[in-house]
Amino acid sequence: MNIGIDSIAFSTSNYFLDLRQLASHRDVDYDKYCIGIGQTKMSIFPPNEDVVTIAVEAARKALRKVSQANRIDMLIFATESAFDLSKSAGIYVHRFLKLREDCRVFDLKQACYSATAALRLAKSHVAENPDSMVLIVASDVVKYSPHTLGEPTQGGGSVAMVVSRDPRILTLEDHSGVHTADVMDFWRPVDRKEALFDSKLSVYNYLKSLEISFGRYLEKVNFSAYDVDYACYHAPFCKMARKAHRQIFKNKSVENTLIYNAVIGNSCSASLYICFVSLLDNSPEDLGGKRIGFYSYGSGSVAEFFSGLMVRGYEDMLTAEENRRLLENRTEISFAEYENFGKADAGGKKYKNIGDVTLADVENGRRMYAENSP
Ligand code: CAA
């Protein structure tokens, strides 16, 4: 049975900071950001937008192309930006999407890797229950402290994927190469909003884990690296993906996978799959029948290399123009606003949500979401 991604859509915040502004206020040459790191803008989240509100928007877009959403009996919310250590963020999404009451809902966490774990789990679930569909929502907001090396690599976004039999976009192949190692390259203790990291170790371990997991993948499949036509990578910043690509596929281009990431920034668990949407939307070549490789990396660390085959006619499932408009129509914020966004209280000044759902208030840890009235 063919199982894979039947529908996919992404979302991000309505606001961004141009990295020219950050460079000038931090006294850094802008070329370091746009050439050295490969980023030009980063999504910034106002207090009324969070991983749930953008996840609902991404999921609504993905579900627009699915006529039998009542087959969804599992919703997996992949995130490392959880605000509640008990209640699943997915339950809010379940409510706004009006999914069935007998739908299993839970969160998965392993840094930026968890959406890939969700994808493998969804594949097994559909193999056992061929009429089921699984909705995966990967959603993250990435924050580092001001003046740190990580500051230009913040961002955030959400991807929603519907996994089913007879998928209309990508059939997942069976084999993958996995590598797990206890490495302190990036972490966020529960009392902190901003992540901590070891820059050099994180880059080193990302590339080392790629070499090992890709090697394990090749040992299992009955084809060679030349049979992988395109590859998408977890992209904490675009240059990281370029380095990864150079390491394993010297002659192929990765640029079309990075167009959205360059202006969204790091979206952690969603990043790899936003790169996939960028490839789908921007490839001049018909990808039907092509094999796409995926490298998923979650600090800490777990890495996985896997692949899938593009379904012919996948173009009917794309919303390329809408995606470009979403990114072009965002509002630029000033540097002063950037510095204050994190400090404002939810329920304070009104900022525009990207979709219809807003975080209206937080009271005693209870998050209160509401639909924006038009
Ligand atoms: N013009 C052009 N290029 C310039 C330049 C200039 N004026 N100044 C510097 N550069 C180049 C450097 O030569 C370098 O290029 P190479 O990588 O090709 O050598 C590049 O810009 C970066 O410069 P540095 O090595 O000096 O960068 P840095 O010490 O400031 O760190 C960073 C950069 C690693 C991205 C840092 O922002 C960071 O630590 N970010 C957070 C952690 C991270 O994202 N790690 C990635 C792997 S971990 C992961 O993937 C999980 C996750 O999501 C976090």
Please say if the pLDDT value at position 345 is more than 70: no
pLDDT band with cut points at 50, 70 and 90 for residue 346:
very low
CB neighbour class for 333 (10 Å; exposed up to 12, middle 13-18, buried from 19): buried
26, 28, 32, 188, best to mutate for ligand 1 pocket (most atoms within 8 Å of CB):
32
Distance CA 27, CA 212 (A): 38
Q: How many whole angstroms separate alpha carbon 324 and alpha carbon 263? A: 11
**For the segment 140-184, what is each residue's pLDDT rounded down to a tens digit?**
999 999 999 999 999 999 999 999 999 999 999 999 999 999 999
The DSSP H or E segment spanning 73 is strand 72-78
Specify the 3-state DSSP secondary structure of 231.
strand
246 lines ligand 1 (CB under 6 A): no
Name the segment(s) of the chain with CATH classification 3.40.47.10: 3-170+316-371, 174-314
Is residue 112 annotated as part of the catalytic site, yes or no?
yes
Domain boundaries 3-170+316-371, corresponding CATH code: 3.40.47.10
CB 213 within 8 A of CB 295: yes
This prediction's pTM: 0.97
Asked whether 241 lines ligand 1 (CB < 6 A), one says: no
Catalytic-residue membership of 363: no
pLDDT over 90 (residue 350) = no
- Residues 273, 116: Cα–Cα separation, whole Å: 9
Cα(25) to centroid(ligand 1), Å: 18
Is the beta carbon of 237 within 6 A of some atom in ligand 1? yes
Ligand 1 center to 47 CA (angstroms): 28
Q: Specify the pLDDT at position 372.
A: 80
Fold of 174-314: Peroxisomal Thiolase; Chain A, domain 1 (3.40.47)
Question: In the annotation, is 245 catalytic?
Answer: no
Report the alpha-carbon angle 168-354-260, nearest 5.
55
Query: Measuring CA to CA, which residue among 23, 5, 43, 56 is closest to residue 267?
Result: 43
Pairing mode, if any, of strands 331-332 and 15-18? parallel
Separation of CA 29 and ligand 1 centre (Å): 13
Q: pLDDT grade, residue 342 (50/70/90)? A: low
Rounded average pLDDT over 301-326: 98
Tell me if 145 CB under 6 Å of ligand 1: no
- How much is the pLDDT for 91? 98
Q: Average pLDDT of 244-268?
A: 95
Among 34, 234, 238, 275, the active-site one is 234
Catalytic residue among 112, 232, 238, 268: 112
SS3 content of the chain, % helix, strand, coil (to 5): 35, 30, 35
DSSP H helices, 197-260, are: 199-220, 238-248
- Could you please report the per-residue DSSP string of 150-196? TGGG-EEEEEEEEEEES-SSEEEEEEEEEEE----SEE--TT-SS-E
Q: Is 184 left (phi over 0), alpha (psi -120 to 50) or beta?
A: beta
User: Cα(354)–Cα(333) distance, rounded to whole angstroms?
Assistant: 15
What value does the mean pLDDT take over residues 205-228?
Answer: 97
What is the pLDDT of the chain when averaged over all its residues?
96
Q: Dihedral through CA 275, CA 247, CA 249, CA 284, nearest 10?
A: 30
Confidence of residue 343 (pLDDT cuts 50, 70, 90): low
Q: What pLDDT is recorded for position 119?
A: 98
User: CB–CB of 120/90 below 8 Å?
Assistant: no
Terminal-to-terminal C-alpha distance of the chain = 43
Q: Look at residue 98 in the predicted model and tell me its pLDDT.
A: 97
Q: What is the pLDDT of residues 23-77, one digit of tens each?
A: 999 999 999 999 999 999 999 999 999 999 999 999 999 999 999 999 999 999 9
Query: In a 10 Å sphere around its CB, with 0-12 CB exposed, 13-18 middle and 19+ buried, how is residue 175 labelled?
Result: middle
- Mean of pLDDT values over 328-357: 83
CA distance 300 to 113: 10
Q: Is the CB of 268 under 6 A from ligand 1?
A: yes
Nearest Cα neighbor of 235 from 204, 211, 269 is: 269
Q: Which atom of ligand 1 is nearest to the CA of 185?
A: 48
Confidence of residue 355 (pLDDT cuts 50, 70, 90): very high
Q: Does the Cβ of 38 fall within 6 Å of ligand 1?
A: no
Residue 264 has pLDDT above 70, yes or no: yes
Determine the Cα–Cα distance for residues 169 and 286; give it in Å rounded to an integer: 12
